Amino acid sequence: MQPVFGKAASGDEVPDAWTGGTAVPGDVDPPGSSKPESAAAGRAGRSEPDVPRRGSPSETGSSAVDPAGGQGKRRRPRGGFSVEYRELGEEEDRSKYDPTTLTILINLDHPAVRNAVRSLGVEDPNFRRMSYEIAFTEYSVALGYEMAQRDPDIPADDLLYEVRATLNRVAASAAALYA
């Protein structure tokens, strides 16, 4: 049995709107193409709002899209990181971040993970704790990667600070998992 953490965003019904995301191959409108012509007027000196760009599913798309969704009247895009277990090879790192799907992959072939599965089993609390630690660490590094993608000029010290702060915050929030 392979452990499974997280689920990709799923929709039980066919969505009527799509936005840039992580779940389905597709095409995303270029930046600025979703705003009305008059939006630039009167914005003197203000930065553009961070509005999700429209998209459409396409098997040959170069980006990824998600159904615009959510609960209630106000529909929002779904998204976030997910964690999956994969056999990536013994020589590969214990975890890997896939930026296209925002997925953290835990390598079942890595010696530490493989031995933990063999000796403890996937349901053992110690194996789950090790998996959490791997996922928390990779999540923190992945956020750093995403920050560097958005701002390539971010100073290395700032990036390391953010990675460490994220790891500390996530670990502190998950303290109950270790009780």
The predicted structure's pLDDT at residue 81: 77
Given a cut of 60, whether residue 108 has pLDDT beyond it is yes
The predicted structure's pLDDT at residue 36: 46
Question: What is the number of residues in the chain?
Answer: 179
Q: What is the pLDDT of residues 121-131, one digit of tens each?
A: 888 888 989 99
What is the mean pLDDT of the segment spanning 156-178?
90
Domain boundaries, the chain: 10-77, 82-178
Choose among 31, 33, 25: nearest CA to 65.
25
The pTM of the full predicted model, rounded to 2 decimals, is: 0.57
Torsion, Cα 13 14 19 21, to 10 degrees, reads 60
Sign of the alpha-carbon dihedral angle for 122, 128, 133, 138: positive
Residue the block writes with tokens 């053992």: 124
Q: Which helix (H) or strand (E) holds 168?
A: helix 156-173
Averaged confidence pLDDT in the chain: 75
The predicted structure's pLDDT at residue 42: 46
Q: What is the pLDDT of residues 10-63, one digit of tens each?
A: 444 444 566 666 666 777 777 655 444 444 444 455 555 455 567 777 777 777
